[in-house]
């Protein structure tokens, strides 16, 4: 009797999900293209900064793998702003804690109409130790900046996917 209980629960959960209109985010059907296909038609212009280029590369890898850019319908503009601040942490006198805060505003533009159809702002804050060694401090700050850029790009990708899913 105990073995049938999990199977029954799975069947009941599947029926409930089917009844509520649930569908996977990246699914496609005969009547709609699917989020993955639409996201592959988003052009992302070259970035002017290193952090912007990391975000752009992550988005291209996730949204348009192997796409040659033919048929770009949308344009995604990203504007990253990075700020480093010192965090007071006096537990160890030779180490200071700093924080990188990366804020990115983005706009999704329909290239057929020229209108902005979606926009948003996201951020990531990552901490690192400053140990008063120039090379180690530079590497720690660069690593923190890259981690923040990867987090932000994942958030932007999810927000755009959710936007396209609600329009389908």
CATH number of the domain at 95, please. 3.30.160.150
State whether the Cα torsion 14-16-36-32 is positive or negative: positive
Is the residue at 26 inside a domain?
Answer: no
Give me the pLDDT at residue 6, please. 75
- Residue 148 pLDDT grade (very low, low, confident, very high; cuts 50, 70, 90): very high
Is the residue at 3 inside a domain?
Answer: no
Give me the pLDDT at residue 33, please. 63
Q: What is the pTM of this model?
A: 0.77
What is the C-alpha to C-alpha distance for residues 51 and 148, in angstroms, rounded to an integer? Answer: 9
Per-residue pLDDT tens for 51-65? 999 999 999 999 987
CB 64 within 8 A of CB 39: yes
- For 53, the domain range is 34-167
Domain total in the chain: 1
Give me the pLDDT at residue 165, please. 87
Q: Which token pair is 151? A: 């987090």
- Residue 31 pLDDT grade (very low, low, confident, very high; cuts 50, 70, 90): very low
């Amino acid at each position: 009797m105990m073995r049938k209980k999990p199977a029954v629960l799975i069947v009941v959960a599947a029926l409930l999900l089917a009844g509520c209109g649930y569908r996977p985010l990246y699914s496609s059907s005969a009547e709609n293209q699917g989020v993955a296909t639409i996201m592959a038609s988003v052009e992302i212009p070259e970035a002017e900064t290193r952090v912007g280029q990391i975000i752009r590369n992550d988005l291209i890898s996730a949204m348009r793998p192997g796409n040659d850019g033919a048929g770009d319908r949308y344009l995604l503009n990203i504007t990253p702003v990075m700020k480093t601040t010192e965090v007071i942490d006096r537990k160890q006198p030779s180490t200071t804690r700093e924080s990188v805060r990366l804020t990115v505003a983005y706009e999704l533009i329909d290239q057929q109409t020229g209108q902005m159809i979606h926009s948003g702002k996201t951020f990531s804050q990552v901490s690192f130790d400053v140990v008063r060694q120039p090379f180690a401090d530079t590497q720690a700050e660069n690593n923190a900046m890259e981690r923040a850029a990867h987090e932000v790009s994942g958030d932007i990708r999810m927000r755009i996917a959710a936007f396209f899913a609600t329009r389908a």
